[in-house]
Amino acid sequence: MDMYRGITEKVLIDNSKNIYVRFKHLGKTYPVKNFTKLFNCKTKKSAFNKLQEIKTMLTNGIDPFNTQGKTLNDYFNRKLESNKKNGIWRDTTVKQYSNFYEGYIKKDIGHLKLDKINYEHLENILKELDHTKGSYKNLIYRILSPIFKDSIKRGEIINNPCKLLDYVEVDKKEKIEHRVVDDHLEIARILYKSFKEHKARYTHQRGEINIFFLMLLLTGHRQNEVIQLKREHCYLEEKKIIAPKEITKTKIDYHYPIPKECLEWIESKKKGELLFPNMKLKSIYFQFQNILKKTNIKLYENKSFSPHDMRSLLLNIMIQKCKIDSRLADTCLEHKQAQVIEHYLNFTFKDKKKSFKKYWKKIRN
């Protein structure tokens, strides 16, 4: 008996090989289906295996040939709006997930229905992320797996291909002194000089990249927050930035001084404008590495240094070189304090401003 009965192979005009399947199940005869087009089956064997899966779905009352006409894009957008509305995803999470989806997922599989997405699709996306950190790779699982799980609960599909992904365990990051030959202050001084002198490749980014990285170095604030700063968050008379809780990690307003190197750039912006409209989160790391390569900062073999490490530079220099109280230095970075301390200890903007001035003086020298 032919195990592939009802399964045929046909070469189309464009020389592509397609697998067609005609079958009967639970007393109903189904019309011929192109399993290559529907499920990406390229051999009779893969079509046969897919057919067994389809019969199981039909037995369970699931129609595998209809996922309500919705593509992954439809499901993602619906989940995005729902999680925003219900406060499940913070604004920073929404922005991070949206950027990742637009940059890596949408172009490859956004147009596909859920039941047509398989592990091979996800693997191809992961190959594009080989150059990134493990925690960033995990975003594909965090974004897609809940969508597949919800669809399974609704009886639309039976498999979640994300289950086959290896969730990357992120090692605790090594201290800077174990990765870079130079000490913290020397690194900061080299970066300060390099950021000021850097000449961007593209005209529209000249000046913007310089000021952006100077802002990261001199304030120690998170890159995801800084790219969301707008002109109205800056108070030039007080030389002060108030980053609203909608864009901060701890969901409280951050108050910190504006470095003099950034004043002219901020003054040139209009109300409603982003301070750094051309800086994109997924490209910041590479732009930083391009600048780093042109410096004489020495890394130990197979070690790295990232924009986020500038927060560590600030903390160490404030405490070790400027002799600033460690809790005050921590407050300058807007780290969330331990619960009891948070309620009783209060540093003012004036306290933070003095600390930043000491830090800036060390670097500018």
Residue 147 belongs to domain with CATH number? 1.10.150.130
Strand partners, 29: 24
* Last residue within a domain, chosen from 107, 136, 164: 164
Assess if residue 262 is contained within a domain: yes
CA 330 to chain centre: 25
pLDDT in tens, the chain (365 residues): 577 889 999 988 888 899 999 999 988 888 888 888 777 888 999 999 989 988 887 887 777 776 555 889 989 998 888 888 777 787 778 888 998 899 889 989 999 988 889 989 998 888 887 766 567 778 888 899 999 988 887 767 778 998 888 765 545 578 899 999 999 999 999 999 999 999 988 888 889 999 999 999 999 999 989 999 999 999 999 999 999 988 888 888 999 999 999 999 999 999 999 999 999 887 899 999 999 999 999 999 989 999 999 999 999 999 999 999 998 999 999 876 554 455 556 789 999 999 999 999 999 98
Assess if residue 171 is contained within a domain: no
Assess if residue 108 is contained within a domain: yes
Helix (H, G, I), strand (E, B) or coil at 331: helix
Q: Give the pLDDT of residue 340.
A: 45
Q: Are residues 30 and 92 in the same domain?
A: no
* Pairing, β 28-34 against β 234-235: unpaired
Are the CB atoms for 305 and 319 separated by under 8 Å?
A: no
* Last residue within a domain, chosen from 120, 136, 164: 164
Q: Give the pLDDT of residue 66.
A: 61
Place of tokens 């750094």: 276
Provide the residue range defining the domain that includes 357.
176-364
Q: How many domains does the chain have?
A: 3
Q: Are residues 37 and 90 in the same domain?
A: no
Assess if residue 291 is contained within a domain: yes
Helix (H, G, I), strand (E, B) or coil at 89: coil
Assess if residue 169 is contained within a domain: no
Q: Are residues 55 and 124 in the same domain?
A: no
Q: Are residues 35 and 83 in the same domain?
A: no
Continuous segment of H or E residues that includes residue 8: strand 7-11
Strand order in the sheet with 28-34: 7-11, 17-25, 28-34
Task: State pTM to two decimals.
Answer: 0.59
**Number of other residues whose CB lies within 10 A of the CB of residue 119:** 13
Q: Are residues 44 and 77 in the same domain?
A: no
Q: Give the pLDDT of residue 61.
A: 73
First-last CA distance in the chain:
86
Q: How far apart are CA 16 and CA 36, in angstroms?
A: 10
- Residue 157 CA: distances (Å) to CA of 118, 147, 165: 12, 11, 18
* Last residue within a domain, chosen from 138, 164, 190: 164
Q: Are residues 137 and 239 in the same domain?
A: no
Assess if residue 66 is contained within a domain: no
Assess if residue 39 is contained within a domain: yes
Q: Are residues 51 and 110 in the same domain?
A: no
Q: How far apart are CA 161 and CA 175, in angstroms?
A: 36
